[in-house]
A and B are shown apart, each in its own frame.
Chain A
Amino acid sequence: DVKVTQSSRYLVKRTGEKVFLECVQDMDHENMFWYRQDPGLGLRLIYFSYDVKMKEKGDIPEGYSVSREKKERFSLILESASTNQTSMYLCASSLPGTGGLEKETQYFGPGTRLLVL
């Protein structure tokens, strides 16, 4: 079974703080993703990564950065947290490849609900 874990289920931070959200997957997946999910807006892609030390901007990268130093770990960084970054953050991973959509399936972690005061 694929397992994607996130460092915290709930997090409360203050405006201006630097925030680190950690995601670890145990299935040797190459692709990893960070989304945020807000009521009425659905899932929006922040950043993704195809491989170690590689990163690509998603649809809403502003105010975020990422780090992928090891294949199994993908970190999302809020350089200076703001109240509009209060959200549910979801990490996902997938194993890319040809010949089957099973490999494109994204598996999600449990999510981190972040509140910025």
Chain B
Amino acid sequence: DAGITQSPRHKVTETGTPVTLRCHQTENHRYMYWYRQDPGHGLRLIHYSYGVKDTDKGEVSDGYSVSRSKTEDFLLTLESATSSQTSVYFCAISESTATNEKLFFGSGTQLSVL
């Protein structure tokens, strides 16, 4: 299995507080992604990165920011959490930018905003 770790695995927070989720990889893959999973919606892309300090928005980026200061780490920040951001968050890494034949996923973070 690919070396990809998400932390924390579970988090409960209050509305209005900042939250940071971390994705760490040991595969040296260029592409990293953050998705959220909600019932009836599948997985929706929040942000992705194609290199250190190179990021772009996905389809549901409002309310989220990301940073990638090192190849191995991709951080997702909710500046002021809202109840609509209660979700399961997945990080993924891609082994190839030319073909993107596969994505490897982390184990997910269950975030509850009360």
The yes or no verdict on A and B being binding partners is: no
List B residues at the A interface (Cβ < 8 Å). Answer: none
